[in-house]
């Protein structure tokens, strides 16, 4: 006969499973603006129902860089009060890019992207976790 601790552990595990606190499902982006994700023939989730992770949004990131532009032939404006200015003669050269720079990562969802979503407790909101490889056979499948 199992002891009381084992019985309580088993009951707790079963209660969590019965409540289904998190389910994963797959869907396809059918509209980018406003965002709509279809998970089966009848279920289409809209922006109000979706929580987006950074994996599926545009975002900016600070990076430290130290490189040079490609070599091209071009001139630069010359500011000279004596001659009135003008342009320097075009010459092949490049420019350094150094320091901390801000870059935009274009990662927003587009029509046709396949995603994996996690249903939050009570099933009212869905977290869009990431893109996945397109697989129409998965649409609407729950894990």
Residue with the bigger pLDDT between 103 and 16: it is 103
Mean pLDDT of 19-29: 80
Question: Could you tell me where in the chain the CATH 2.40.50.140 domains are found?
Answer: 22-58+106-143
How sure is the predictor about 34, in pLDDT bands with cuts at 50, 70 and 90? very high
Residue with the bigger pLDDT between 84 and 108: it is 108
Predicted confidence at residue 37, as pLDDT, reads 96
pLDDT at 18 over 90: no
Predicted confidence at residue 74, as pLDDT, reads 67
Q: How far is CA 27 from the centre of its chain?
A: 15
Residue 61: count other Cβ atoms within 10 Å of its Cβ.
Answer: 10
Q: Two tokens at 81?
A: 């009060």
Q: Is 76 helix (H, G, I), strand (E, B) or coil?
A: coil
Predicted TM-score (pTM) of this structure: 0.64
From 69, 109, 67, 72, select the one nearest 90 (Cα to Cα). 72
Of the listed ranges 58-62, 81-85, 96-100, 103-107, the one predicted with least confidence: 81-85
Return the H-helix or E-strand segment holding 72: strand 72-74
The residue behind tokens 């407790």 is 121
Residue with the bigger pLDDT between 80 and 49: it is 49
Tell me which CATH code domain 22-58+106-143 carries. 2.40.50.140
End-to-end CA distance of the chain, in Å?
34
């Amino acid at each position: 006969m199992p002891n009381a601790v084992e019985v309580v552990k088993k009951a707790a595990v079963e209660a969590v499973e019965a409540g289904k606190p998190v389910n994963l499902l797959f869907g396809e982006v059918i509209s980018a603006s406003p965002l709509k994700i279809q998970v089966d023939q009848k279920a289409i989730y809209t922006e109000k129902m979706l929580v987006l992770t950074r994996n599926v949004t545009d975002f900016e990131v600070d990076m430290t860089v130290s490189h040079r532009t490609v070599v091209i032939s071009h001139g630069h404006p010359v500011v000279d009060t004596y001659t009135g200015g003008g342009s320097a003669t075009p010459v092949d050269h490049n420019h350094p890019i150094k320091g901390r720079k801000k870059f935009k990562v274009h990662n927003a969802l587009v029509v046709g992207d396949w995603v994996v979503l996690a249903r939050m407790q009570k099933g009212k909101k869905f977290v869009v976790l990431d893109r996945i490889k397109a697989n129409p056979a998965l649409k609407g499948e729950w894990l």
